[in-house]
Amino acid sequence: MDEMGIQLNGQFSKGIHEIPVEEMDLVVEMGPEIEAPLPKDFKGRRIRWEIPDPFGRGLTAFRNSRDLIQIKVMDLLAELLPVD
């Protein structure tokens, strides 16, 4: 992420039970490796992206996953934000 000018100092992964999922409008699941059941009171939209987990697969795998996430996020923003 540093290569993209994005600092992640102090950031860390959080478990599904550590965030207020029931208050969210949208949840994106990144890949099939991790199954995270949503709370029963979740009323938002669930999206599944097939992003390969780069863990243990080298820098190129991390870059590829990062770039794929960027493309998917930009596509999602284009879908969600109205164009004037």
Q: Are 22 and 39 in contact (CB under 8 A)?
A: yes
Pairing state between β 45-48 and 26-29? parallel
Q: Which residues contact 80 (CB under 8 A, 6 or more apart)?
A: 26
Query: Domain-by-domain residue ranges, the chain?
Result: 2-80
The predicted-structure confidence for 25-77, as pLDDT tens digits, reads as follows 998 888 777 777 888 888 899 999 999 889 899 999 999 999 999 999 999 99
For domain 2-80, give the CATH number: 3.40.50.2300
Locate 82 and state its tokens.
């109205």
> For position 78, what pLDDT does the model report?
93
Using the predicted structure, report yes or no on whether residue 21 has a pLDDT greater than 90. no
Cα Rg for the chain, rounded, in angstroms? 15
> For position 71, what pLDDT does the model report?
96
What percentage of the chain carries pLDDT values higher than 70?
A: 98
At residue 46, the 3 state secondary structure works out as strand
The whole-model pTM stands at 0.79
